[in-house]
Chains A and B, each alone.
Chain A
Amino acid sequence: MAASSADAVEVRIKIGGPAGFGIKAAGQTLARLFTRSGYYTFDLTEYPSLIKGGHNSYHLRISSEKIFSHVQPVDVLVALDEATVALHLDELTEGAAIIYDPDDFDLSQIEGVPDDVCAVAIPLKQIVRDARGIPIMRNIAALGAVLGHMRFPLDYLLTSITEQFAHKAPEIAEQNIACATAGYEHAQTHQCAFPYHVPECADDGERVLMDGNEAVGAAAIAAGLGLYCAYPMTPASSLLHFLAKHAEHYDFVVKHTEDEIAAMNMVVGGAFGGTRSMCATSGGGFALMVEAFGLAGVSESAVVVGLFTRPGPATGMPTWTEQSDLRFAIHAAQGEFPRVILAPGDVEDAFHLTWQAFNLADQLQTPVVLLGDTYLSDNRQSVEPFDLESIVIDRGDLITEGEVTEYARYRVTPSGVSSRAVPGVRGAEQVVNSYEHDEYGYGAAGEIAEVRIEQNEKRMRKLELARTLVPPPQYFGPAEAELSILVFGSTKMPVREAMSWLEREGVAVNLMQVVTVWPFPAEEVSAFLGKAKRTAIIEGNFTGQLQGLVRELCLTDVDHTLHRYDGRPFSPEQVYGFCKEVLG
């Protein structure tokens, strides 16, 4: 799509090659320096579930104007092997460049390469040899070439290298700088008319570059996280790494457990002691957590659970994305209990919904799920620095010190929330129980019909309280629109991007993002769909899980649906095409 104004700059760069070549790290270096120079960035890493071999790619979109998602086209393709060219040929824009090492392959021998492609042959390996560097430094030479090709100042890369290798032997930084500089100079000598020369950006707005998991982790730390337990599972693993790295400095416990069953039970134990406790995983791990998730419900434990979806079922497609666990999250565990499910749609949401999740868990004394996916977890986008002043800690009715009298952990109250005095408080004798129980937590009386009814109703009342506390839906676009789209989660990003393109063409589309997917905002959804001219749901699953909720809880339906379940996120091009199609 064309940029919105004549002087706007937008360039899409893709680096491709075999797994194990440091492609993501190289790409993130590029993303960071463009972010620092004032550009908006959004990256997309695609990789198989392999450590070595297989094809990895890193796509970086940079723009002088605000952007909301990745896009498909590629203006500069860095091909670290021959396979990359063929795999991404159909993404190349008119006049796109391919940066490659002629020592790796002969570009002219590859079938289907358009004539107008700008072949930027850079002797990457020779550059590394000349600099007496190690093979991985060819990535740096390639980054230098990307910048040289686009006539972007090299200084940003050199500064980045100096910072990155500040703690290493000085010759390492020197070798990298030599590689970057040589790559840069080589690229400037090519003769083709590349349409995008990227100047320094005039925008000096401060931005940070984070992915969803980094935003969740940072917000959890701010919110007073005391215990994080997890078993590695893509795409949640990077959150474990992030929190483990910061545990000592911020003084909280991180435990890599023997399995997800242990992780969920441990955080319930942590919550029992009054500690803000969280675990996160993907669908398979959550399947193992499910019994203890229900335990958190009946025992009224304040826990936060990250469920970051990848395509299932079973092992599925480990490194890819999907939105197929919405119903799973809503229905997980036997029996009935109140739960809150928040679905962040972008990095900003991921940050703010996380600290709010801890407050909701404490206020409601029940499990709160952060429902994300690989697309959000893995990919970095430039965002305005989060408003840290907005963070508040509300621990609800919690007593951690001193003494209580005539204490009953599960006292029946109008709101359903009982005062929670943790172990160590004098007089707080109680049984926090997986069995149905009476006001004191004793299981024996839990089997009495009246007690069961009383406790069950008390717990379920918290769902009504939750409706008054949870974050509301978000709305984007004009009040009056030709098409009204309903989404949850990360699909928000490509839809917002497509909406901005349609807006430039004078096509009015608006969007409702269901932020709290449970309790489901049926009234708001009904109102949104009810006043719409034409309606659509876009969701990354086969069965239409969000649509099913609309049918069930709003007793209505939408005019159009768009699904995707190939492991890839929706692209804005696809959403744009869908909107054009349904609007005729």
Chain B
Amino acid sequence: MPEVNEYITPNKPTWCPGCGNHNMFEALKHALSELDMDFHEYSMVWGIGCHGNGADFLKTQGFHALHGRALPVATGLSLTRPDLKVIVEMGDGDGYGLGLGHFIHSVRRNVDLTCIAHNNQIYGLTTGQASPTTEHLMRTVSTPEGVLEQPVNPLGLALAEGASFVARGFAGDVPHLTELYKQAIQHKGFALVDVFQRCVTWNKLNTFSWFRERVYELDSVGHDPTDLNGAFELSMTTFHEMTCKPHECRVPIGIFYRDESAPTYNQDAPGANRPGYEGAKAVRDIADLIASYA
């Protein structure tokens, strides 16, 4: 089985020095290695954004999709290839902006895939505009007077739509993130891991030190991940003001909610129980079907 350092390509990562993507890349390689995933056993699907450049760096049989549309591509793959572990990486602008509709629908259909959101609360690749998760009143190049909208609450949305696995990670804690990835990948159904990461170039507010002063592990406070109401309450703590003091807005990380018994779309959809290409090995006999129109 591949070692951690084998999950790479000849392409060196081009993310900014200090970018949270480096940490998330490390965590994913460790998770894949620790799960003994060979390269033909999982397929990555990326959206467009800084995170998506990881398509060049991580060794896989993957797909670098359109901006905002990683989830439907991954869904098409998941529904027709039950033999593969499908893992999506998407950005906050990508997956919670353009792709927000797909996100909600993917959650409610509990399609069997892992969804890792690179949530740096800013548009990086397009040079620093406000993203759907940028904090209220934060000034950016596209919102010089400050963001007038409330941020999207991805965990709250996922919980409201009946998600079967909802977790938040912090890119500044690779061992913890690795563990979350492993559990998400092993989960049957839609597994969300929303990851707070820093953008050293464009988001001068939500830095690693900003997060370090605020994050705490849910395990440490004895949160029960089968407690949906408790998970909802925790999800609301993300709506902090940019001016809040560390003790005023604590950011929980870990598994908010998990339901291993939730039926997946894949298990109940006709035709989704075998690789889709098997149906095209020979011409299907439709003589009876045609005869029914006589």
Chain A residues within 8 Å of B, Cβ to Cβ: 35-36, 206-210, 214, 218, 221-227, 229, 246-248, 250-255, 257-259, 261-263, 265-277, 291-292, 295, 299, 358, 385-386, 388, 391-393, 395, 398, 400, 422-435, 441-444
Min C-beta distance of A148 to chain B, whole Å: 25
B62 touching A265, Cβ below 8 Å: no
Rounded to whole angstroms, the CA-CA distance of A429 and B61 in the bound complex is 4
Q: Which B residues lie within 8 Å of A218 (CB)?
A: 286, 289-290
- B276 within 8 Å of A by Cβ? yes
A223 touching B280, Cβ below 8 Å: yes
B63 touching A299, Cβ below 8 Å: yes
Q: Which A residues lie within 8 Å of B75 (CB)?
A: 255, 262, 266, 269
B270 touching A266, Cβ below 8 Å: no
Rounded to whole angstroms, the CA-CA distance of A269 and B46 in the bound complex is 12
- Residue in B101, B276, B278, B289 whose beta carbon sits within 8 Å of that of A227 in the complex: B276
Chain B residues within 8 Å of A, Cβ to Cβ: 9, 11, 14, 38-41, 43, 45, 48, 53, 55-56, 59-66, 69, 72-81, 83-84, 101-102, 105, 269-272, 274-287, 289-291, 293-294
Rounded to whole angstroms, the CA-CA distance of A388 and B284 in the bound complex is 10
Q: A222-B284, A225-B280 are in contact. List 7 more A-B contacts (CB 8 A).
A: A263-B72, A265-B66, A269-B74, A272-B73, A275-B275, A276-B280, A385-B291
Q: Which B residues lie within 8 Å of A435 (CB)?
A: 64
A393 touching B283, Cβ below 8 Å: yes
A36 touching B294, Cβ below 8 Å: yes
Rounded to whole angstroms, the CA-CA distance of A336 and B208 in the bound complex is 43
B276 touching A248, Cβ below 8 Å: no
Q: Quick one: closest B residue to A422, CB to CB? A: B277
B274 touching A431, Cβ below 8 Å: no
A224 touching B56, Cβ below 8 Å: no
Known contacts A214-B293, A272-B73; A424 and B83 CB within 8 A of each other: yes
Q: Which B residues lie within 8 Å of A292 (CB)?
A: 66, 69
B40 touching A208, Cβ below 8 Å: no
Min C-beta distance of A251 to chain B, whole Å: 5
Rounded to whole angstroms, the CA-CA distance of A386 and B60 in the bound complex is 44
Known contacts A253-B80, A254-B270; A275 and B293 CB within 8 A of each other: no
Q: Which B residues lie within 8 Å of A214 (CB)?
A: 293
Q: Which B residues lie within 8 Å of A271 (CB)?
A: 76
Q: Quick one: closest B residue to A255, CB to CB? A: B79
Rounded to whole angstroms, the CA-CA distance of A222 and B41 in the bound complex is 30
A224 touching B281, Cβ below 8 Å: yes
Rounded to whole angstroms, the CA-CA distance of A209 and B11 in the bound complex is 58
Min C-beta distance of A257 to chain B, whole Å: 7
A253 touching B55, Cβ below 8 Å: no
A253 touching B271, Cβ below 8 Å: yes
B279 touching A262, Cβ below 8 Å: no
Q: Quick one: closest B residue to A248, CB to CB? A: B270
A273 touching B270, Cβ below 8 Å: no
Rounded to whole angstroms, the CA-CA distance of A358 and B283 in the bound complex is 12
A sample of 19 inter-chain contacts (CB < 8 A) reads: A208-B291, A218-B286, A224-B281, A247-B271, A253-B276, A266-B76, A269-B76, A270-B80, A270-B276, A272-B76, A292-B66, A431-B60, A431-B64, A432-B62, A432-B63, A434-B64, A434-B65, A443-B53, A444-B56
Q: Quick one: closest A residue to B78, CB to CB? A: A269
- Residue in B39, B276, B293 whose beta carbon sits within 8 Å of that of A274 in the complex: B276
Min C-beta distance of A30 to chain B, whole Å: 15
Min C-beta distance of A172 to chain B, whole Å: 21
Min C-beta distance of B161 to chain A, whole Å: 12
